[in-house]
Amino acid sequence: MATSISSFLLLLLILSCAINSTPVASSKHGNDYLISSEIISHPAVEKQSHFRFYWHDIHSGPNPTNVHVAQAAETNKSSTFFGVVNMIDDPLTTGPDLSSKLVGRAQGIIAGAGIYKLEYLMAMNLVFTDGKYNGSTIAILGRNEVFTAVREMPIVGGSGLFRFARGYVQARTYSHDLVTRDAVVEYNVFVNHY
């Protein structure tokens, strides 16, 4: 009886390995670019980390971190900057004062996407430059309605320690100068990662 059970368990193990390691060939379906597709399980436990830092968007002075790179012909007539495209390399600090500890940079594109409201398309990477997370990134792609108290944008990926990241960020304006357009925004980042 023990031999029969052992044989049965061995057969199940062999079948399980064969099923989990067999690539799916898909050339019959026109997907010649798919090399293989395998069922995987991630050995690590997913966790959620909460980071808070301050995003310094600087338009003024000798070293701006937000620069205008393009605009549509109609942008000059728009009260919402619809059609404008800016590149950013904004410092991320632990406190609202620019002289507080630098922990990273927000690098990417901000584009005026709202015709009727001040709304931006945000496509940026939060690039960590400090401590354990140095060199890792969190990718954000979403809508930012600037005058809303709390804006939520999705995390669409990451690199380094944030590979396979997902989650969301909440942005709250800490300060904004209407003349220079310089702003400090508190970012709360809720990221699920392995």
Q: Are strands 47-57 and 102-112 parallel, antiparallel or unpaired?
A: unpaired
Could you tell me which of 189, 192, 154, 191 has the C-alpha nearest to residue 172?
189
Model-level pTM?
0.78
pLDDT (tens digit, 9 = 90+) per residue, 110-141? Answer: 999 999 999 999 999 999 999 999 999 999 99
Alpha-carbon span 98 to 55, nearest angstrom: 9
| pLDDT, tens only, 23-78 | 444 445 556 677 777 776 767 788 999 999 999 999 999 999 999 999 988 888 89
| Model pLDDT, residue 184 | 98
Q: Are 141 and 153 in contact (CB under 8 A)?
A: yes
pLDDT at 29: 52
How confident is the model over 147-178, as pLDDT tens digits?
999 999 999 999 999 999 999 999 999 999 99
Alpha helices of the chain — where are they, by DSSP H? 2-21
Distance CA(90)–CA(106), nearest Å, equals 5
Q: Looking at residue 14, what is its pLDDT?
A: 47
Q: Which residues of 48-78 are buried (b: 16+ CB within 10 A; e: fewer)?
A: eeebebbbbbbbeeeebbbeeeebeeebeeb
